[in-house]
Structure 1
Amino acid sequence: MRLSPLLIFLLLFAGCGFFETETSTCVKCHQGLELASPTHGDCVACHGGDAVAEDKEVSHRGMLGKKNPGHPQVWDKTCGRCHAYQLSRVRSNLMTTATGMIKNIQLTWEGEDGRLYAAQGLETFAADGTALKLEPVTALDHLSGELYRKFCSLCHVALESNQVWTGSHGAGCTACHFPYNDNGTYEGDDPTVKGKWPYSKTHAMAALPDNEVCFRCHNRSGRIALAYQGMNDGNNSLVPTEGVYPGPKLISGVRNATSIPPDIHHEKGMECIDCHTSRDIMGDGYAYENMYLQTEIACEDCHGGAKERPRSEKVSRENDEAVRESRSYKRQVVLGDELVLTAKGRKYSNVFLEEGKVWVVDKRDGQRHESKVITGTPEHTIVGHERLECYACHSHSVAQCYGCHTEYDQRGKSMDFIKGRETPGTFDEAEDYRMLYPFPLALNQRGKISPVTPGCQTFVTVIDRQGERVKDEYVAKFKGQEQLRFAPFFGHNTGKKAVSCSNCHTNPAFAGFGQHVLEGDSLRATLICEHSADKPLDGFLTLRDGEVRAFSAITRENSRPLNSEEIRRTWAVNQCLVCHFEPKDPIYQKELDYRALDRCLSRPAPAERPAGAGR
């Protein structure tokens, strides 16, 4: 039997159901509503309801997720029916569970209790394949749980956020694939919902979310969406910066974002999705306890390391994951393509190896970018730099918020977004100071030297229902000690030009001493908390009479500040830099003789040398 071209088209593109016909009351009422996609033409298949009932109330009866069929409460009955693989991944994804955030807040304020919590309770699998139970955060009935439910939860995709200027988004699948505009109103062609709130910008699905989707959430905390696009919401409040208006961009929380140099990848026209894989964003089906464990990409993937070029592998199967993922791309993956591998050994779907060159191809428009491979170049094979992360040198800036004061007042009430009702207790937050540069360096969880940022440097006050201050911490406890916390961090503000050798090797702020004044063999902090006479607010090390002491924690396994010997060796390089200031200088390809440097330091000054002494 031969099938007509029209029938073949309908069978291929019917998606989860057949297309609605003109007899559908959905179509009759919602004239001008955008088709979600060529494969999503059946309203009832996604939304539920009755497509033949003439009465509006009857027609809408039984709709799933009200306006949002991608909501986690119903996504197993809607999106998950056709996209079971994607649902199994996003269900355990950190953007949904927020397990790492909840865990790290709890570590600071109450300590571990042997359980892991998530935005919603879930039975899933850990990265090693073992069964893992995530408890609902509603069971975390203390300060950490309260803070997450009343503050942090609105940015995470398990919930809809519809009252935040420039920060609103849907819940579940729609958070990324049906994005909101700045004020959460519909601006499409359906007159029945035109201008209404809260709705997605249009009813057309975004198969490839753009940077504005990422910006809705990632403009707080580490502020990576701001830094990537070249913006900073520093200590400027709403001071006019463009004519008589705040700007150049007003963002959520009535913040004034001003301009800084953007990330070089943004300058080249690359979007967030051009570096990040779907497994970075949607997860891979396993539950991770921290973001760095879920993230699978690294700078070395495309640029290579000091000694090893980027790894690659050819596509040998028609059902390869990269082939499937690239269906919505301008340049699709085909059999025989050689693709670069991620840090976890999986294929990128848009990074190709062609004639020995690495090419990153933008997913949306197909623009090609040659990725310079730095393997073997002299400035990247400096002896002693083996432990440096690429972004330790190549970060323009790193967002740092110091002195985060959190007050919890039990006399008032505020919305618990997870429980869906107001409950006793209100939070108020304030900060002392924010800066971008210089940024401190320490050892991260990989044993490499990377930028670190306060994470979170929290001072907590709790006021009970009688108005008594029952908790007034100068510094929260972490791992049994009163100590500030810094966390390894990639600020998403990289540049081609690296931090200069002299900057890194001569400015103690990079080693973690904060802003300071040098006094003999001591460093005196110049940015201190009102509760401390000598410890820097913007650092984690002190130097007194030549002795280095650490008083803060770096919050990752195997992480720590640089020790006194590492700092001594770092600063000893200053003597070389006076003459050998070029990083390509062959001297830096040789093992440094620190004993020779010590002898150089101990030599008497020329005026003090005995007459006739040789050079």
Structure 2
Amino acid sequence: MSFCLCTKIRAILVPLCLLALAFPGCRESKPPEKPAAQKTAPQPVRQPGCLGCHPEVRLDSSHALACTECHHGNPEGATREQAHAGLISQPAHPERMQKSCGACHAKQVAETASSLHFTAHNEVNLVRSAFGARAPLASLTEIPIPETISSPLDLADDLLRRRCLRCHVYSSGDGYPETVRGTGCAACHLPYGNGTMSSHGFSKSPADSQCLHCHYGNFVGADYHGRFEHDFNQEYRTPYRTDGSENRPYGVEFHQLAPDIHQQKGMACIDCHSGGELMGGHGGAGKKEKAVTCLGCHGWRKGLPLPMNNLQIEADHLVLTTRLTNKKLVVPQLVHPAHKQYEKKAHCTVCHSQWSFNDQGTHLLRIDNPDHPAWSRLGVQGSREVEEQLDNPAPTGTSLRDKITGTSSPSLWLKGYELRRWESPLIGVGPDGKLHIFRPVLDLHLSMVDADNTVIFDNLGVEPRQHRYLPYTPHTAGKAGAFFTERLKPNLPTERQP
């Protein structure tokens, strides 16, 4: 009986429960979810003209010009090809700067065209005369392009055009991060860094980083910052890296030695080397400026004219104001009795140079088919163009660009040194009869092997040997130290002991 009752109750309850579940008030219900509306980012409004594709370009206030004023092109072009029709990518190049920069800076452009930075005629004529040239050239652009190499001078001309002249205003530099720069006026006045133009704002007063795009390696400028380039051989190029990476912003690693005392005090290159000197006022077509000397500042006396326009007299002291930071520095005057004793016998750098460049035996080989494995230990060459061909030989053979015209021709120029030192400056008597620091700048040895592996020229050098050494001014000044006479007495005839 109870079993039947339970069965009947169950039969009644099940339909009631189903009915309750179907009733809207007995369960929580949610309206169907609508798909979330997708938010779309507002599309940037493309600016008309050049800035539509180059929004990062910002000019300085003195050059608030339309892009086409210098670069030409077509700002209304709808495609890249149309916009770049007639484009001038390097309007400051020496071949175009007269029209581009000269429209506003006619005097500066006219003087700069004959400056040492543009013509490099001192360096060019120095090397050419050492290998047989009889007449000087006015500019590097006049270096002949030899069709065949039949004389030592032909070989030297080929060396200059295709290997040496990477640091001049006709070239945008080598392929290392800190050797890339603009051309012409832009080489100094447009800032570059890490291989690219870092700003389109022109700088009236370039920082040292601009100078170092050219004055790197074992040349004056790098020494001012205490840099001495490592040897090319891989054993000498520390620190060693196990991950395959390299840190060669200037082509070759460098030793960090003592910087020049003027650099340590906060002076930049342009604090001594003014625009008038660098851009033709000194040694150029414009007004000649007197060359800056050590004694011009440190030997100054009341009543004498101030040697530079960033010098002034304050409280009876000669004070220099740095051009980049406006830092005031009191210029110390000569007080040690040795200055009076040796002033006419020795240049200031003989005692005050902390170190100097001494690269002896610079060997340069022109070769059509280099034995790549044999040069593996000298794979770093200070030339990206050469290094790439040593690392990855092309099946079509080797070639180098003419650094003035950009035209390539067969063969490579490979380089190596016998000895690279800085410890003991070379001291000798200069043309003025005074002691100077010397460096073996013409200790060059040129060789040539043709495509048939025939030796055409073997170890051509400058004779007599003493002509390989020339006086120069190391930019490594510091205190003379207690043993300065050890540099003077062995080299001055009147100071030698009988």
Q: Normalization by structure 1: what TM-score?
A: 0.62
Q: Is 1:300–2:283 an aligned residue pair?
A: no
| 1:498 to partner: Cα distance | 4.1
Matched position secondary structure for 2:469? strand
- Note the 1:12-27 alignment, pairs <5 A: 24-27=48-51
For 2:185 and 2:441, the matched residues in 1 are separated by 29
Query: How far off is 1:180 after superposition?
Result: 2.0
Structure 1 residue 268 displacement after superposition: 0.6
**Cα distance, 1:150–1:365 mapped onto 2, change above 3 Å:** same
Q: Which residue of 2 aligns with 1:81?
A: 103
Q: Quick one: which of 114, 125, 129 aligns to 2:135?
A: 114
Match of 1:32 in 2: 56
1:94 to 90, 93, 116: 116
* Separation of aligned partners in 1, 2:422 and 2:125: 27
Give the number of the structure whose residues are more often strand, by fraction.
1
1:241, 1:248 within 8 Å by CA — same for their partners in 2? no
How far apart, in 1, do the equivalents of 2:249 and 2:210 lie? 14
1:279–1:296: 8 Å Cα contact kept in structure 2? no
Asked whether the 8 Å contact 1:505–1:571 carries over to 2, the reply is no
Distance change >3 Å, CA 311–CA 240, structure 1 → 2: farther
Q: Distance in 1 between matches of 2:425 and 2:134?
A: 33
Matches within 5 A, 1:482-501: 485-498=468-481, 500-501=483-484
SS at match of 2:309: strand
- Superposed, which structure 2 residues align to 1:378-527 within 5 Å? 378-382=337-341, 384-410=342-368, 412-473=398-459, 476-478=461-463, 481=464, 485-498=468-481, 500-505=483-488, 511=491
Match of 2:267, SS? coil
Give the letter aligned to residue 124 of structure 2. I
Identity, % of aligned pairs? Answer: 24
CA distance in 2, matches of 1:55, 1:162: 32
Q: 1:24 to 1:83 in 2, by over 3 A?
A: farther
The one-letter code matched in structure 2 to 1:491 is P
SS in structure 1 at match of 2:405: coil
CA distance in 2, matches of 1:81, 1:499: 56
**Aligned to 1:69, which of 91, 106, 114?**
91
**Mapped contact 2:277–2:283 kept (Cα < 8 A):** no
**Counterpart amino acid of residue 271 in structure 2:** D
Q: Secondary structure at the match of 2:423?
A: coil
Deviation at residue 247 of structure 1 after TM alignment: 12
Contact 1:165 1:251 in 2 (8 A): yes
Q: Which amino acid aligns with 2:202?
A: M
Q: 1:286 to 1:491 in 2, by over 3 A?
A: closer
Of residues 351, 357, 372 in structure 1, which corresponds to 2:332?
A: 372
The alignment partner of 1:57 has SS state of helix
What per-residue deviation string (whole Å, max 9, x for no partner) do you get for residues 446-484 of structure 1?
Answer: 4322100001211222223432223223x6134xx4655
Specify the alignment match of 1:220 in structure 2.
217
Is the contact made by 2:146 and 2:158 (CA closer than 8 Å) also made in structure 1?
no
Measured after TM superposition, the shift of residue 145 of structure 1 is 1.4
Bigger Rg, structure 1 or 2: 2
In 2, are the aligned partners of 1:476 and 1:484 still within 8 Å (CA)?
no
Letter in 1 for 2:291: E
Corresponding position of 2:322 = 362
Deviations 1:489-517 (A, max 9, x none): 111000033472342256x5xx4xxxxxx
Partner of 1:10: none
SS in structure 1 opposite 2:310? strand
Deviation sequence 1:363-391 (CA, Å, 0-9, x none): 111100000121x6423112x54221111
Alpha-carbon distance between aligned partners in 1 of 2:226 and 2:245, rounded to the nearest angstrom: 13
Q: Which amino acid aligns with 1:94?
A: L
Q: CA deviation at 1:85?
A: 1.1
Q: Is the 8 A contact 1:440 1:452 kept in 2?
A: yes
Aligned partner (choices 126, 149, 159) of residue 104 of structure 1: 126
- Give yes or no for contact 1:453–1:487 (8 Å, CA) kept in 2: yes
Kindly state the Cα deviation for residue 57 of structure 1 after the two structures are TM-superposed.
3.0
Contact kept, 8 Å, 2:170 with 2:404, in 1: the verdict is no
Is the CA contact (8 Å cut-off) linking 1:91 and 1:285 kept in structure 2?
A: no
Matched, 1:161 2:173: yes
Give the CA deviation at 1:171: 0.9
Instruction: Rate the CA distance shift 1:399–1:214 in 2: closer, same or farther, 3 A.
Output: same
The verdict on how the C-alpha distance between 1:76 and 1:385 changes in structure 2, with shifts beyond 3 A counting, is: closer
| AA matched with 1:309 | R
Q: What does residue range 136-175 of structure 1 map to in structure 2 within 5 Å? A: 136-138=143-145, 142-161=154-173, 163-175=175-187
Q: Distance in 2 between matches of 1:219 and 1:210?
A: 14
Shift of 1:179: 2.6
Quote the Cα distance in structure 2 between the aligned partners of 1:248 and 1:257.
13
**Structure 1 residue 246: deviation in Å?**
11
Q: Which has the higher contact order (CA 8 A, sep 6+)?
A: 2
Distance in structure 2 (CA, Å) of the matches to 1:462 and 1:483: 24
3-state DSSP of counterpart to 1:155: coil
1:259 corresponds to? 256
The residue aligned with 2:228 is 232
> Residues 61 and 407 (structure 1 numbering): CA distance in 2 closer, same or farther, change over 3 Å?
same
How many angstroms apart in 2 are the aligned matches of 1:207 and 1:439? 36
RMSD between superposed Cα atoms in Å: 3.0
Q: Name the counterpart of 1:205.
A: 202
Three-state SS of the structure 1 residue aligned to 2:193 is: coil
Change (3 A) 1:95 1:138: farther
Aligned equivalent of 2:267: 270
**What is the DSSP-based 3-state SS (H/G/I as helix, E as strand, rest coil) of the residue aligned with 2:200?**
coil
- Per the TM alignment, residue 178 of structure 1 is displaced from its structure 2 partner at its CA by 1.2
Letter in 2 for 1:70: A
Mapped partners of 2:221, 2:424: distance in 1: 20
Cα deviations by residue, 1:223-269 (Å, 9 ceiling, x for unpaired): x233211222244856444997999973433x222221111111111
* AA of the residue aligned to 1:405: H
Q: Distance in 2 between matches of 1:201 and 1:137?
A: 36
Cα distance between partner residues in 2 of 1:228 and 1:161? 21
Distance 2:484 2:173 in 1: 45
Cα displacement string for residues 489-547 of structure 1 (whole angstroms, at most 9, x for unaligned residues): 111000033472342256x5xx4xxxxxxxxxxxxxxxxxxxxxxxxxxxxxxxxxxxx
- In 2, the alpha carbon distance for the partners of 1:246 and 1:486 equals 39
Aligned to 1:562: none
Question: In structure 2, do the counterparts of structure 1 residues 279 and 155 end up closer, same or farther at CA, with 3 Å as the change threshold?
Answer: same
1:18 maps to which residue? none
Closer/same/farther in 2, CA of residues 280 and 178 from structure 1, 3 Å limit:
same
What displacement does 1:221 show? 4.1
1:139 positional shift: 6.8
**What TM-score does the superposition give when structure 2 sets the normalisation length?**
0.75
The amino acid of 2:56's aligned partner reads G
Contact kept in structure 1, 2:58 and 2:200, CA below 8 Å: yes
What whole-Å deviation, never above 9, does each CA across 1:337-373 have from its counterpart, x for those lacking one?
xxx22xxxxxx23122334321111111110000012
Query: What is the identity, as a one-letter code, of the residue corresponding to 1:146?
Result: D
Structure 1 segments unaligned to the other structure (5+ residues): 1-21, 121-134, 186-199, 314-339, 342-347, 512-565, 573-597, 599-615
Question: 2:323 is aligned with what amino acid?
Answer: K
2:223 partner letter: A
Residues 166 and 174 in structure 2, CA contact (< 8 A), matched pair in contact too: no
Check whether the contact 2:350–2:487 (CA below 8 A) recurs between aligned residues.
no
